[in-house]
Structure 1
Amino acid sequence: MTDGKRNIIRMLLEEYDIESALDIQDALKDLLGGTIKEMMESEMDEHLGYEKSQRSDNPDSRNGYKSKQVNSRYGSMEIQFPQDRDASFEPQIVKKRQKDISEIDQKIISMYAKGMTTRQISETLMDIYGFEASEGFISDVTDKILPDIEDWQNRPLSNIYPILFIDAIHYSVRDNGVIRKLAAYIILGINGDGKKEVLSIHVGENESAKYWLSILNELKNRGVQDILILCADGLTGIKEAIAAAFPKTEYQRCIVHQVRNTLKYVSEKDRKAFAVDLKTIYHASSEEKGQEALERVNQKWAPKYPGALRSWMKNWDALSPIFKFSPDVRKVIYTTNAIESLNATYRKLNRQRSVFPSDTALQKALYLATFEATKKWRLPLRNWGLVYGELSMMYEGRLPE
């Protein structure tokens, strides 16, 4: 610490009789107001061309002060703004219509990104900064990111994604006084470098082949030319849409969702044993061995749960592509590591907001949550070199060498 700083601190302690951290904050707030006033006085000198104590032929002159309430990082405070007679003075340190000097917009957006509701943000601002921000004001601040969301949703994408995941999370949204359940469809890609990338987020209500075709065509319009494997749950119409938009893409029904949907109808006492038996199906060394395991598991559990494995048999063509891959590739496809950490962030929004006031509010929250969740996505997936090599051989000529 320099001698100059020590002297400032010593004078601060003497001037303000500081005894607590709150006293320090009050002192800094007072100093901030005084500093801003002095800086605006200098701006006024430059604007008029003479200092306060000098005479001048300038027809414009000082015209006292106007009080203005602003929000700062030390709380709400009153500042004295110098004025001139013809009202041509435009201060730069704090502009005429500026009501906040604490970069509060970014603070609000950051809290919104962490899943806080507008009410929680308003209460936090009151607790920490000592001023009230209405829910409408907070909504207006977060609306500033809507153009950014549109740009992000339309940004150019890579021309090839070896693997693509589509997953859905459901939220309650208020629409004209009626609460509806809407699905947020997250499209997560693994790019050629093995890095995760959220391609887009769509909030929708009805699934259909037409709906999914429009989503996939949007990806094509943004530059995606090829997808090797698309992994999704049994979304209505997804299989037909993939065949139309990306005819060479392999549709792999999500194994994890398949297992969860099966165990949903199994009693708690049988669930663990049933899950172990299911693992023998999708861990089988070949499709033939997988079918044999499916028959064994069905024979074992059918007397108690007659319809539990019906979906496996009905959708075998979409479940079976996984058997042609090695454990390294299978792990990327059927484990949820790639998307579960992301979903955990999205589900946090459900815990903190029982109902979103609009689908726009949901879209904003999802966008900001995505940026929070993906900040640390810098490294490729584990063993990506081996995975990429195998995919290159399996889908010959479709991946860059």
Structure 2
Amino acid sequence: MVEVQSMTVADVVARAADGSLDEFLKNAVAFFVRELMEAEICAEIGAEIGAARGQVAPESRETHRNGYRPRGWETRVGEIELLVPRKRSGTAYFPSFLEARRPAEQAIFAVVMEAYVNGVSTRKVDRLVEQLGVHGMTKDRVSAICRGLDERVEAFRNRPLEGNYPYLWLDAKHVKVRDQGRVVSKAVVVAYAVHESGVREVLGLDVGEVETGSFWVEFLRGLKRRGLAGVKLCITDQHEGLKQAVARVLGVPWQRCTVHFARDMGAHVRRDQRGMLSAALREIFQAEHGDQARARVGQVLEKLASTAPKVCELLEAAEEDLIGFYAFPKEHWPKIRSTNPLERVNKEIGRRSDVVGIFPNDAAVIRLCGALLLEQNDEWLVSRRYLSAESLATVLAKPEPVDRTVEELPVAA
């Protein structure tokens, strides 16, 4: 300890010259944080019992020291093995200089490290590793980090679904994944829903080679095996294979996202016509009831027949899929006529995946997205209800269509 306190500038220069300065700095940092932790836990225990270290507590002690727990700490001078003091009771001690990573932050750290140690990192990942100050990262260490996250994410993805989920949203985002030496685009598909209690939940997550109808069929079957029930409306963007999968597996009405439809129609008119088109479509989606919406569709078709024939063709074909939400309670309309309520979550997934750039494998995609969605799900469970349970009860009471044809899934043993 004396050597740490009494080194001269000449000593530091000499250590730098013979290559031993790094080890000296590592030992100095370890010494400093060890003393800091001892001071912090003494202060915590003293505050809890009303006496400083070495003093007699005015009353019986409510807590004592209880040994140490090892914890690795990555620093710019290398990994330091900390011995974090423990208390027998009360609030657990956590060093002030450490930051407790949330699951999503742990996941992005793990994904970056996995890409790095497997030699498939991009320049972006190399810069992140440098900024994180991580040294000596091995495949075994990365595997250990990933294993803990994967267990949590898998438990979340495969948990039983209990109760009814009247509204179901399905969404997909494409990411770049390294697969057998090639970089390919894969679809991250996510299922969200509103539970009968009015709370939103993330129900499922998976990665597919391509966003095909067969993939969606298997994804929806997996949700049903886990207990998905009571779905009355499925809201998604346009995808013919997905629409067919919803009809085949769930047998419920399909609501096409009105926001994405209006955005897509802008590509079929001149720039100076887009404002007029947007206003016309908005009138359809903000009608007082379904019959009025159908009447407005007719008016728009008549008005745009000569100037935007392609828009008229697409609107006429999609009419029933676009205004299906009018069959449900009016207070639900703003939230079930599009996938916009999920935009913030989708943007967050995009922001995190953009940081990585190219994922090393499918498991890394699920790890990062799953950790982020797990956090979002926990936030939704304790936040204000998305829809009232009373209004959802009226939706669940709606009779099933008599001509519905849904495949029968085998009962799990």
Quote how far apart the aligned CAs of 1:371 are.
2.8
Task: Map 1:175-324 onto structure 2 (within 5 A).
Answer: 175-247=179-251, 249-324=252-327
Equivalent residue, structure 2, for 1:72: 73
| Residue 105 (structure 2) pairs with residue 110 (structure 1) | yes
Structure with bigger RCO (C-alpha 8 Å, 6+ apart): 2
Equivalent residue, structure 2, for 1:370: 373
Change (3 A) 1:114 1:136: closer
Using the size of structure 2 for normalisation, the TM-score is: 0.66
Equivalent residue, structure 2, for 1:30: 31
Change (3 A) 1:152 1:16: farther
- Per the alignment, in what secondary structure is the counterpart of residue 196 of structure 2? coil
Equivalent residue, structure 1, for 2:43: none
Quote how far apart the aligned CAs of 1:147 are.
3.4
Amino acid at match of 2:298: E
Change (3 A) 1:259 1:226: same
Amino acid at match of 1:251: W
1:163 pairs, out of 164, 167, 174, with 167
Contact 2:195–2:201 under 8 Å retained in 1: yes
Per-residue Cα deviation, 1:259-317 (whole angstroms, up to 9, x for no partner):
22222434444333321111111222233322222232233334333212423211223
Give the stretch that moved more between structures: 191-200 or 386-395: 386-395
Following the alignment from structure 2 to structure 1, what is the Cα–Cα distance between the partners of residues 314 and 292?
18
Contact 2:187–2:211 under 8 Å retained in 1: no
Unaligned runs of 5+ in 2: 8-23, 38-70, 86-94, 117-123, 401-413
Contact 2:236–2:339 under 8 Å retained in 1: no
Equivalent residue, structure 1, for 2:407: none
Quote how far apart the aligned CAs of 1:171 are.
1.3
Contact 1:161–1:190 under 8 Å retained in 2: yes
Following the alignment from structure 2 to structure 1, what is the Cα–Cα distance between the partners of residues 210 and 129?
38
Task: State the identity as a percent.
Answer: 20
Quote how far apart the aligned CAs of 1:111 are.
4.8
| Residue 152 (structure 2) pairs with residue 148 (structure 1) | yes
Equivalent residue, structure 2, for 1:131: 135
Quote how far apart the aligned CAs of 1:372 are.
3.9
- Per the alignment, in what secondary structure is the counterpart of residue 234 of structure 1? coil
Using the size of structure 1 for normalisation, the TM-score is: 0.67
Following the alignment from structure 2 to structure 1, what is the Cα–Cα distance between the partners of residues 273 and 111?
39
Per-residue Cα deviation, 1:315-373 (whole angstroms, up to 9, x for no partner):
22322321223431111202445311111111113432332232222222211222344
Change (3 A) 1:270 1:143: farther
Following the alignment from structure 1 to structure 2, what is the Cα–Cα distance between the partners of residues 34 and 280?
68
Change (3 A) 1:181 1:303: farther
Following the alignment from structure 1 to structure 2, what is the Cα–Cα distance between the partners of residues 243 and 107?
38
Following the alignment from structure 2 to structure 1, what is the Cα–Cα distance between the partners of residues 36 and 300?
77
Following the alignment from structure 1 to structure 2, what is the Cα–Cα distance between the partners of residues 177 and 24?
40
Equivalent residue, structure 2, for 1:325: 328
Following the alignment from structure 1 to structure 2, what is the Cα–Cα distance between the partners of residues 306 and 115?
51
Contact 2:166–2:396 under 8 Å retained in 1: no
Amino acid at match of 1:30: F
Per-residue Cα deviation, 1:60-94 (whole angstroms, up to 9, x for no partner):
xxxxxxxxxx9536653688xxxxxxxxxxx999x
Change (3 A) 1:143 1:382: closer
Equivalent residue, structure 2, for 1:66: none
- Per the alignment, in what secondary structure is the counterpart of residue 359 of structure 2? coil
Q: Give the greater-gyration-radius structure (CA).
A: 1
Contact 2:160–2:226 under 8 Å retained in 1: yes
Following the alignment from structure 2 to structure 1, what is the Cα–Cα distance between the partners of residues 200 and 6?
54
Equivalent residue, structure 1, for 2:90: none
Following the alignment from structure 1 to structure 2, what is the Cα–Cα distance between the partners of residues 92 and 288?
68
Quote how far apart the aligned CAs of 1:163 are.
0.6
| Residue 347 (structure 2) pairs with residue 358 (structure 1) | no
Per-residue Cα deviation, 1:168-225 (whole angstroms, up to 9, x for no partner):
1111222223222211111001111211111111211344544333222211211123
Change (3 A) 1:266 1:353: farther
Following the alignment from structure 2 to structure 1, what is the Cα–Cα distance between the partners of residues 390 and 103?
43
- Per the alignment, in what secondary structure is the counterpart of residue 172 of structure 1? strand
1:344 pairs, out of 339, 344, 347, with 347
Equivalent residue, structure 2, for 1:46: none
Following the alignment from structure 2 to structure 1, what is the Cα–Cα distance between the partners of residues 197 and 6?
58
- Per the alignment, in what secondary structure is the counterpart of residue 214 of structure 1? helix
